[in-house]
């Protein structure tokens, strides 16, 4: 587990008062946005193995099928495998919001997604939702990994989709 300062959201040595969590550096916003695109690519490809490195091994998540999941393996088992093979056209809307800690070691990304779900009769339905992801990294400029995810469908969207497609590369 990566050591994170206990007060990561308070001003650090050399903190620029003109820079705040609500006004992150463009390269940090780009890093968070790239993470979201990477996840979308893995969801579309049903690539569980490829997605694992972008999540912390001891992540904590909320999902549609389990209230709390502790650990990336648990999230994959309880959430990813119940969703990714059964949907199509998963993508993030472009207005991703990003907050970054002053030391640039933590970030929060908030995004809205769209996807296509399938009823039991095979007919399609729109499957929009939202996500909040808490990120961390070892040093400014390093890649972010997800420490916490909370993904949920919008109100009144069916939680089950019935299409099945194969996993990329097997288990």
* Residues facing 126 on adjacent strands: 116
CB 149 within 8 A of CB 159: no
Domain count within the chain: 1
**SS3 at position 120:** coil
- Inform me whether the pLDDT recorded for 5 exceeds 80: no
What is the per-residue pLDDT across 116-166, written as a single tens digit (0 to 9) for each? 999 999 999 999 999 999 999 999 999 999 999 999 999 999 999 999 888
Query: What pTM does this model have?
Result: 0.85
Of residues 80 and 6, which shows the higher confidence score? 80
pLDDT (average), residues 105-119? 98
Containing structural domain, residue 114:
26-153
Helix (H, G, I), strand (E, B) or coil at 64: coil
Phi, psi of 119 (to 5 degrees): -75, 170
- Residue 1 within a domain: no
Spatial contact of 78 and 65, defined as CB atoms under 8 Å apart? yes
**Which CATH number covers residue 81?**
3.10.450.50
């Amino acid at each position: 587990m990566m050591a994170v300062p206990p007060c990561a959201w308070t001003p650090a040595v050399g903190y620029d008062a003109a820079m705040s969590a609500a006004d992150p550096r463009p390269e940090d916003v780009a890093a968070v946005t790239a993470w979201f695109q990477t996840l979308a690519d893995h969801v579309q490809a049903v690539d569980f193995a490829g997605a694992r490195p972008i999540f912390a091994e001891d992540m904590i998540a909320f999902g549609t099928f389990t209230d709390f999941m502790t650990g990336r393996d648990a999230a994959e088992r309880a959430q990813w495998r119940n969703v990714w093979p059964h949907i199509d056209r998963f993508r993030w809307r472009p207005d991703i919001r990003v907050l970054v800690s002053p030391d640039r070691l933590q970030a929060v990304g908030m995004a809205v997604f769209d996807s296509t779900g399938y009823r039991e009769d095979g007919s399609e339905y729109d499957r929009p939702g939202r996500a909040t992801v808490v990120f961390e990294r070892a040093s400014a400029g390093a890649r972010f990994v997800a420490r916490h995810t909370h993904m949920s469908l919008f109100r009144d969207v069916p939680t089950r989709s019935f299409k099945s497609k194969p996993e990329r590369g097997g288990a």
